[in-house]
Amino acid sequence: MESCMATSSAAALSSMPTSIFSQLLHVILVSQCTLSKNEDYPMDRTEEILASGMEFDFVIVGAGTAGTILAHRLTEVPDWNVLLIEAGEDPIPESDVPGLMLLLFGEFQDYAYKTEPQEGVCQGINNKRCRWSKGKALGGSSVINAMLHVFGNDRDYNEWADMGNTGWSYEEVLPYFRKSLNCPYDHVQKWGSKYCGTGGPMNLRNYNYSMTNTQEIILDAARELGLNVLEPLIGDRFVGYGRALGTIDNARRMNAAKAFLSPIKGRKNLYVMKSSRVDRILTENARATGVRVTLKDGRSIDVKTTREVILSAGSIASPHLLMLSGIGPKKHLETMGIPVLTDLPVGKNLQDHVVWVGMHIGYVNESTTPFPSTYALDITYEYLIHNSGELATVGIDLLGFVNVTDPKSKYPDIEIDFGHFPRWNMLKVGTLLKAFDAEENLIQAIYKEIMEMDLIIPCTILLKPKSRGKLELRSIDPADTVKIYANYFTEEEDLKTLLKSTDQIKSLLNTETMKKYGMSLQHFDIPGCRHTKSDSDEYWECNARHTATSLFHAVGTARMGPAGDPKAVVDPRLKVHGVERLRVIDASIMPNIISGNTNAPTMMIAEKGADMIKEDWKKEDLKNVAREEL
């Protein structure tokens, strides 16, 4: 911070005489120093590791949400040397700014995977292949995600426990949700200590800015329909409308690396390797002994562990690495010419949340005026100086959780994220579609809409898909991405449920609350749907097939289940079946996807996994001591 402020001050004051203007410029430049800098994060210790040739107690592959938590918790044991390996670098400063979130997708800190083409799905996406974004930096996807912190509901986790996953019921995992969190006092008062912890590394806060009153209008419409208004959003009620808290602090993104690694960057037993790709798990006699790593200069090295290898590379990279190491479906591995170590259904059970962005609510907002030529400078100034304004929020923190197939159910099957896009703001609405890699003709169509009216886009999300996809190796080259078969809507019920979300939006629009503003459902002019009649079932299905795509919530590809479960890859202690001293701890272990955004449960999985590791090795060390005494 000091070096940044000194540099900024020198730059401002050396370029012009002292004046009110130069002082203002100085303030703005210094304000930029509150964004992320390399010195905020642990240093790269690759050369030190190479020089020493040291072994580690634990090697963690992937420094995303799960990996950073594991590194934080395992290095609490001073006798354990922990190596954290990340393919990316430190997060860029722009990633700290919530309002720039959509601009991060498809850029260099995003793997930007693409699914294999599938008929009738992602028809409005470039090359008909859905983009699957995943963060490539310390902090992983927490560096580019929407920062919404949502637990899911009790049924989600009780289902896991009912599948034989002992210790994973809702009441048993709640302490691990709380453990990570540092909530403001007033929220602890609202939530109660059951849901919101204090003193954890991750700060949760409200977004502090709403550009218009659209959120209040939607909440009033929900009240008129007799729907729950959830204040707070996380609690004992799971259906209704409310505002989510975000992983933010002082209007800055709190990515997982900032929350969990920055406070411990000086720990001597924490070793971090950046820009390093893990290519293979090393094994001897079905026991993990280390990993093979390709460094940024192209060198390949083997790193050994005396205790465990832990995969926390996410639902795409973790199964990729398992299969490259001979752990996966026997038939597929043999086809690829990989010797089979253990025959497990790695890459199966792939689940994702589909988001539909093709429904648009339009209205003439008399308070909206054309944007001045200084618009970008104005919002930047407001953000850097006052920590408020359009850049201080993602603008989609108002969420609806509804059940469109059984209105009496206490559990949702659809999530709705409401985003407001003011008239004439082509940049903002364009970035939404570009984030999902939409075709240019769709972007031009929405530009025409935004030039005529304000838009509220209810992004509807299918929470509990029945369809299952899979991952397969493209080649044995670790640099090659896997093949992603999303298999969206292969179960017909999924598409039917998503389409029923139109009824919920129409119900809101039919309230007096929304009628008085002249709000109405628009006909999005999709070239591939021009043969259909406006507002017909055929139109909405065509619309969904063009504009529904991934919400980047892939899970389930290293499914958790007890011994004897033919669909399981890891056991309830997150140990890989049939391979000693190897665990997977990330979103890939979810047996079923949860009813909400996946970052919060990934944090919980990592917190619980860290405790399991400590418990297991405490027992193992005691056994070793007893043997030595004998």
Burial (0-12, 13-18, 19+ Cβ within 10 Å), 564: exposed
Three-state secondary structure of 321-357: HHHHCCEECHHHHHHCCCCCCEECCCCCCEECCEEEC
**Phi and psi based region of residue 618 (left: phi greater than 0; alpha: psi -120 to 50; beta: remaining):** alpha
Category of 307 on φ-ψ map: left (φ > 0), alpha (ψ -120 to 50) or beta: alpha
The CA distance from 199 to 18, in Å, is: 44
Strands 342-343 and 470-472 come out as: unpaired
Distance CA 67, CA 73 (A): 10
Cα-flanking dihedrals φ and ψ of residue 473, to 5°? -70, 140
Within 10 Å of residue 509's Cβ, how many Cβ atoms? Answer: 18
Give, rounded to a whole angstrom, the gap between the first and last alpha carbons of the chain.
55
Amino acid identity of residue 579, one-letter, is V
Q: Are 117 and 129 in contact (CB under 8 A)?
A: yes
If residue 217 lies in a helix (H) or strand (E), which one and from where to where?
helix 214-224
In this structure, the chain runs to a length of 630
SS3 of residue 451 by DSSP: coil
Confirm whether 553 is a catalytic residue. yes
CA atoms within 13 A on the CB side of 14: 6
User: Among 320, 353, 553, 577, which one carries the catalytic annotation?
Assistant: 553
DSSP 459: E
Distance CA(3)–CA(24), nearest Å, equals 19
The two tokens of residue 237 are 């009620």
- Whether 555 contacts 588, CB under 8 Å: yes
Single out the residue of 124, 139, 136 nearest to residue 434, CA to CA. 124
Euclidean distance between CA atoms 421 and 415, whole angstroms: 19
- For residues 436 and 474, the answer to whether their CB atoms sit within 8 Å is no
301-331 in b/e form (b: 16+ CB < 10 A) is bebebebbbbbbbbbbbbbbbbbbbbbbbee
Give 114's strand partners. Answer: 131
Q: Which residues are catalytic?
A: 553
